Amino acid sequence: MSAGSNEGLSRRGFLAISAATLGGVMLAPGIRLIEIAAARAPDQPASGKVRWGLLIDTNKCEPGCDDCVTACATENGIKSTGHPRTDSQWIRKVELKDMRSGRTHSLPVMCQHCAEPPCVDVCPTGASFKRADGIVLVDRHICIGCRYCIMACPYKARSFVHQEISDQNPDVPRGKGCVEGCTLCVHRVDRNQQPACVEACTKAGHNAMIFGDLNDPHSEIAQRVAKYASTQIRADLRLDPGVHYQGL
C-alpha cells in the first residue's frame, strides 16, 4: 500500500483489516474464511486479481431449510408485500426431482455472477456491470428500468421493483422502477465479511455454502473446485458463472 492511498484510511478501518488478517491467520491454513491477500482497505478499489464465487454442496443443503433466503432478506431489507409475483427474490430455494431416476435435490439459486454476463451485454446504459472482482451489479443511478436484463438472464436472478420502498438498509439502496438482484452482499465483501446467506448456512450447521476467491489457489473454494466434481447451471451457455454446484 502506498503512502498516498493511506490518506482515507480511518483508524477503525485499519483495525478492521488487522482483525481480518488476524482472523485469517488464526484459522487453520487453507481454510481461511477470507483470504489475507484479498483483505482490502475501504479506500482501495476492488481488484481484478480476485474472482469471488460460491460453491454450493447440494448434498449438504437441507430440503425445507431456507435460512439463506431469510438471512438475505434481513441483510438486504427485502420485505414481502403480499404480492409474490411482483416481490423481489434475490435468492430462492429450488427443489428438483430427476424425471427418470426420481432423485431429489434442494439448492439455493441466486445471481450466478457470470464471467460473461448476458445482463451486462444487453443493458443499454451500462447500468448492469461486472465489477473487477467478478461481482455482477446494477448501478441504480443509471438503470432506466427497461427489464431487458431480466429477459436475458438464464437464471431468473433479477427482479424489477414494482412498488415504492421505504426503510431501506443504509448499505443496500433499493427503489421503485429499477432492476435488482443478488449483490453477493458486496457491502459486506467490501469490509471483508462473507455474504449473509453463507454466514447463515454455516451458522445453521449445514456448511453447504462456501464463499471465496476462485482465483486464489490456496482458498478453500478453489481447492474444492479443483478436487471435486462441480457443475455450473446451464453450463452449456458457457457464461462461466462464479457460482458452482457440487452434488448435482
Pick out residues in 185-214 that bind other proteins (CB under 8 A).
Answer: 186-187, 189-191
Whole-angstrom CA distances from 152 to 68, 121, 156 are 25, 9, 9
Question: Of 91 and 201, which CB lies nearer to other proteins in the complex structure?
Answer: 91
Question: Of 10 and 59, which CB lies nearer to other proteins in the complex structure?
Answer: 10
* Min CB(108)–other proteins separation in Å: 10
Q: Which of the 8 DSSP states describes residue 177?
A: T
Interface with other proteins (CB under 8 A), residue from 14, 15, 63, 177: 177
DSSP string, 45-89: PPPTT--EEEEEETTTSPTT--HHHHHHHHHHT----S-TTTS--
Q: Which of residues 13-72 bind other proteins (CB under 8 A)?
A: 40, 42-46
* Min CB(30)–other proteins separation in Å: 26
Count other C-beta atoms under 10 Å from residue 72's C-beta. Answer: 24
C-alpha cell read off for 34:
477470507
Tally of residues, the chain: 248
Question: Of 1 and 121, which CB lies nearer to other proteins in the complex structure?
Answer: 121
End-to-end CA distance of the chain: 42
Q: Which of residues 112-141 bind other proteins (CB under 8 A)?
A: 118, 120-127, 129, 131-133, 137, 139-141
Q: Mark the segment that binds other proteins (CB under 8 A) among 18-26, 99-107, 201-209, 214-222.
A: 99-107
Interface with other proteins (CB under 8 A), residue from 51, 76, 159, 184: 159
Q: Considering the rule CB under 8 A, would residue 11 count as an interface residue with other proteins?
A: no
Using CB under 8 A, count the residues that bind other proteins.
Answer: 86
Q: Which of 96, 94, 93, 95 is nearest to 70 (CA)?
A: 93
Q: Give the containing element (helix H, strand E) for 234.
A: none
Q: Mark the segment that binds other proteins (CB under 8 A) among 27-35, 85-93, 205-213, 221-229.
A: 85-93
C-alpha cell read off for 102:
426420481
Q: Give the containing element (helix H, strand E) for 136.
A: strand 136-138
Question: Of 84 and 217, which CB lies nearer to other proteins in the complex structure?
Answer: 84
Question: Of 54 and 109, which CB lies nearer to other proteins in the complex structure?
Answer: 109
Interface with other proteins (CB under 8 A), residue from 2, 4, 11, 167: 167
C-alpha cell read off for 16:
478492521
Q: Which of residues 224-243 bind other proteins (CB under 8 A)?
A: 233-234, 237
Q: In sequence order, what are the residues at sequence separation of 6 or more whose Cβ sits closer than 8 angstroms to the Cβ of residue 215?
A: 49, 50, 51, 222
Interface with other proteins (CB under 8 A), residue from 21, 65, 93, 204: 93
Question: What is the spatial distance between Cα 96 and Cα 186, in angstroms, rounded to a whole number?
Answer: 29
Interface with other proteins (CB under 8 A), residue from 62, 150, 206, 224: 150
